[in-house]
Structure 1
Amino acid sequence: MEQRKNSSIRMFLFLCTIPLIILFGCQHEKDVGVQPVKKHNHSLGKEAIPHSFISNEIMTPIPIENGQFNTIYGWLNNETIIYMTNVGLGSNVYTYNVFTGDSSLIFESEVPISSVVPSPSGNYILIHSAPSTYEGIISIINPKGEQLMSERISAYEFAFEWNPYDENLMLISAFAENWDFSMFQMNIKEKKFDEIHNKEPFVNWIGKDEIIYLNWDQKDVSLFAPLVKKSINEQNEKMLLEDVYYAKAAKDLIMTITVNSSASDEAVYTFLSKDLQELSSFTVPHLTRYSDWLVPYFDFDAENQLFTLQPLLSTEADLYRDGFQLWSFDAVKGEKEMVMENLKNEPLNCSPDGKYCLYGFNFEKLIDIQSKKVLPLIKDF
């Protein structure tokens, strides 16, 4: 009797256990392939865990949900890029976090957008929309898409230059169809838009109130010009250097390109402090064009590290077929390192920390500096 009773109890417990086994077995099967970190992230929300704890992988390709991809315009910070799509006759502007895959619509325009220019720190975004061939609307927004300022200008083409010393200030050169130009200074903080006068339309800031530019002689056809500086609101031009072929300023740094006096087939890249103290230099082979030399694409990160493409030898640009090397160069330390080989000469735009560079004529690719890989950002582009 007691044995029968014990058998009944065992049978009862076995029958009660079967649903639990099935329940837990189904639950385990449902969780197969789901990583614990991702489950935890989903339950807490994406904002609760930094991406670096979840993954350091780039999330590609960018999902284009509305419209047709047009181009990527640069970095807002070390994680976020800006891109644009064509939607009907207008354009949409999005931000995209390359690590989390989060995409946000920040600006919609019923007319085409010609360019999007983030400020150096990413606090502001300039959007140039074009309601007609001879008119532009310049809008300043913040990363959330809130409009801070807008101006309508009659012009055929534009050039923009953010002030890295005071990002409330922006210089805008507005060109007529015959390339006559007017220059304006936009002050976002004070909501001012004033015309200023300068000999040259393409300038770089070297201080809150000072600019530099090459002072070309319009009557003399030359490959070189003096590098000059002046205060933005005064005509107090001062020559800094003679016989400069190309000049570019980053914050607290000036880069010039000249020709090697002892080897005319080489270009000399020289880096100067704001007070013109030489910091470092290096030489690269020249590629000649019909009337000048080719300056391969380059960009600086936030620490003034230069990333530049360079050819393997000097010859005519149209005949060159040997590919380009990507080099990094620390302008202060003078240290140069080759990153990659066999690249094309296409535009670069590097993240502030210098770990990644957008690459391509639409910035549709991403160069991972550490892994030395080129990743496509847009599917089938």
Structure 2
Amino acid sequence: MSRQKRNYPIFLILRLIFLILILTACAQKEQLKQKVTAKNEKPKSPATALGNEWKLPISIPEGEFYKFVGWLSGTKVLYITNLEQTSSVYQYNLLTGKSELIYKSEYPIVNVQISPSKKRMLIHTSPSSYEGVVTIIDIKGKEQLKKSFASYELSFEWNPYKESEILVTKFNEDWSFQILLLDLNKSNTTELTLPQPFIKWKGENEVAFINWDENNPSLFAPLIDRSLENGMEKTLFSSVIDFSEFRDLLVTVSVNEQDQSMANYSFFDKEMKKLFTFSIPQLTNYSDWLVPFYDYNEQKGQFFTFSPVTSGEADSYTEGFQLLAFNPKNGSSSLIMDGLENEPIHLSPNGDALLYGNQFEKIIDIKAKKIYELIKE
């Protein structure tokens, strides 16, 4: 009995030593396995800035750069070049650095509009000072329609709810105007009786406009909704200074009633339910308010706008503009960049980049907050 008591602890000690040796061997084997695996794995590199992937600046194939038009996709942009009296439309792939000719015109191109679906383009050419030609092509450059308009100037509003329809406003030299509905399927136009030249689509058969009174000039006016089917009108807001319609959003700009040095930006869904409002400093022109350039991306639900740092007169303002981003649905906001010029902006379909400048000659990587030149000076 006493002998068994003396041998029992020795047995436990030997068993414990054996177990430690096994565990040590297993641990060394696992460490060796991890070292081999780590050696064979490729090291993970940090995420590359979007701008570092772009092949810039663009080398123009032929002629002189005129301007960029917009986005065909998140990686392809459209631009126009001029050579003597002719113009060409190219698409450029930012990732491959290649330009592809889409359309060549024997007359100077005034502008190009990309359809809401990105499947068509409207080419506006000007054979003479009093004639405008509208050509509709697909993204491969195949003509679908060509129509001439006697006019001094033309403006267009593509129907995002029914892409076969485009509002065409013809201006005469005295700025009197006529509005036509161009039907691409029927290849014809129908004259519309509307009191204002600048119209936005609010629905498939519904438009909206600010009803300015020429006889009594004012800094603001009512925003009107009109049905194109029966002509019925309703006043949406009694006083706005600017507005824009997007497929899922209405944006209005108005003067802050409590502080007229501030502008209110209000957002409404398609049922006219207010989603969000923010205010920024306001700059005045001689006869109206300066509304800084803005754009909205439906995919990310983000609204980008320039904002002055302080209120005052536009002519004497020198403090630069902030580029701000807002999400109207959750009310969040962020400062993208500051110290910029107030120039046109156009968001990419995926919301990752902005064309920027009077000719869209610059591009902004939003996440990296960096500006790149598209064209070499």
- TM-score normalized by structure 1? 0.84
Given that 2:285 and 2:315 are in contact with CA atoms closer than 8 Å, whether structure 1 keeps it comes out as yes
Amino acid at match of 2:306: L
Given that 2:306 and 2:323 are in contact with CA atoms closer than 8 Å, whether structure 1 keeps it comes out as yes
Match of 1:215 in 2: 211
Q: Distance in 2 between matches of 1:55 and 1:292?
A: 38
Match of 1:328 in 2: 325
Where 1:318 maps in the other structure, the secondary structure is helix
Query: 118, 122, 128: which one pairs with 1:122?
Result: 118
Amino acid at match of 1:292: D
Query: 184, 187, 193: which one pairs with 2:189?
Result: 193
Match of 2:167 in 1: 171
Match of 1:161 in 2: 157
Match of 1:136 in 2: 132
| Deviation at residue 252 of structure 1 after TM alignment | 2.0
Match of 1:22 in 2: none
Is 1:108 the counterpart of 2:101? The answer is: no
Match of 1:29 in 2: none
Deviations 1:119-161 (A, max 9, x none): 1221111000000001000011111001111110000111111
Query: 86, 94, 97: which one pairs with 1:98?
Result: 94
Match of 1:65 in 2: 61
Where 1:139 maps in the other structure, the secondary structure is strand
Q: Distance in 2 between matches of 1:146 and 1:231?
A: 34
Aligned residues: 328
Moved more, 277-286 or 120-129: 120-129
Match of 2:364 in 1: 367
- After TM superposition, the runs of 4+ consecutive aligned structure 1 residues lying more than 4 A away are none
Query: 239, 254, 258: which one pairs with 2:235?
Result: 239
Given that 2:61 and 2:99 are in contact with CA atoms closer than 8 Å, whether structure 1 keeps it comes out as no
Amino acid at match of 1:363: F
Is 1:297 the counterpart of 2:301? The answer is: no
Is 1:227 the counterpart of 2:229? The answer is: no
| Deviation at residue 233 of structure 1 after TM alignment | 4.0
The two structures, once aligned, show a CA RMSD in angstroms of 1.6
Moved more, 195-204 or 136-145: 195-204
Match of 2:373 in 1: 376
Q: Which runs of 5+ in 2 are unaligned?
A: 1-47
Given that 1:206 and 1:252 are in contact with CA atoms closer than 8 Å, whether structure 2 keeps it comes out as no
Match of 2:245 in 1: 249
Q: Distance in 2 between matches of 1:120 and 1:326?
A: 25
Query: 282, 297, 304: which one pairs with 1:307?
Result: 304
Match of 2:79 in 1: 83
Map 1:281-296 → 2, pairs under 5 A = 281-296=277-292
Given that 2:248 and 2:298 are in contact with CA atoms closer than 8 Å, whether structure 1 keeps it comes out as no
Query: 335, 350, 365: which one pairs with 2:347?
Result: 350
| Deviation at residue 259 of structure 1 after TM alignment | 0.9
Where 1:206 maps in the other structure, the secondary structure is strand
